Amino acid sequence: MSRSIVIAAVQANPTVGAIEANEALARKRVAAARAAGADLAVFPELFINGYPPEDLALKPAFWRAGQAAVERLAAETDADFAALVGVIWPPEAPGRRPRNGLAFLAGGVVQGVAFKTDLPNYGVFDEKRVFDPGQGPAVFTWKGVRLGVPICEDIWSPSVCAALVDQGAEILVVPNGSPYRRTAERERAEVARARVAESGLPLVYVNEVGGQDELVFDGASFALDGQGRTVMRLPLFEEALGVVRWTEGPDGWRAEGGSIAPGMDASGEIYHAMVTALRDYVNKSGFPGVLLGLSGGVDSALTAVVAADALG
């Protein structure tokens, strides 16, 4: 009898620091994934705490609140449904820094936590300052399938995925907090296809969506089969749920049910990035609105249109 597993990619919009709100959002998305027939819901990187947490990651009360949130979510899982949820995890010893973790919630408890091993420290990222790296990637088994869970930067070089293959991983599940830039979607796909070609394993890539301070996340989550073909792609700049059934066959894992969202041209991407960034900056900060000074020129007219599309 062939094995199968239904994986839901949860492309959602958390808020940095708003742990209770993020927990409530996770609960809603779990319900949607279960209703869609999923066995496993996969959330983006550090979903419970919000990404990037920056100096909040250094506060012990913040770790404890995130840990308590995933434990409450874990208590709502059972023998038929599990979730992989990004969360800051407390240090392994006094005097150490916390870790960028992915908690495996199943059977009513936190079954285990995987830790990001390759911490980025360039551009907008400064994770080496606030986190300790994991000592190696982890594999979790659900519905009889061994899931390797590299976290975001962990797939940008071959070593972590190679270690997961050595541990017997059968499907790679990758949570991300990857910000938008004009070339990001193409670069992510190229890196993911390289890891699939090296490992021969399917890959599910789940990215955050929404604005957070000066960053904007575009979503565009996707799944590749073992031949590197796109079998699911979620829309840009929208919250979405992507559900794929993976069934083991003589030639590897076959994907069924994934939808392919249309892409955007360059102008469309940039415009949606501006609208998303403004909407979430205003709303997540709790501002009542914006004040515009209009000169009648094209630039201020465009500003007004962006503000209207973002805020009504």
Using DSSP's 3-state secondary structure scheme, residue 256 falls into strand
**Catalytic residue of the set 23, 28, 76, 116:** 116
Say if CB 249 and CB 263 are below 8 A apart. no
Cα separation of 273 and 267, whole Å? Answer: 10
Give the residue among 267, 265, 274, 264 at the shortest CA–CA distance from 303.
274
Q: Which two tokens stand for residue 309?
A: 């599309």
Catalytic residue among 23, 45, 127, 208: 45
Q: What tokens appear for 187 in the block?
A: 């670069």
In the residue annotation, 238 being an active-site residue is answered as no
Give the H/E segment covering residue 197.
helix 184-199
DSSP 252: E
Separation of alpha carbons 156 and 178, rounded Å: 12
DSSP letter assigned to residue 136? S
- 152 is an active site residue: yes
Amino acid identity of residue 122, one-letter, is Y
Rounded Cα distance, 264 and 266, in Å: 7
For the CA atoms of 186, 173, 219, 36, what is the dihedral angle to 10 degrees?
A: 130
Q: Are 146 and 170 in contact (CB under 8 A)?
A: yes
Distance from the Cα of residue 99 to its chain's centroid: 16
How far does the chain reach from its first CA to its final CA, in angstroms? 54
Instruction: Determine which one of 23, 127, 152, 269 is catalytic.
Output: 152
Spacing of C-alpha 72 from chain mean position: 20
Catalytic residues: 45, 116, 152
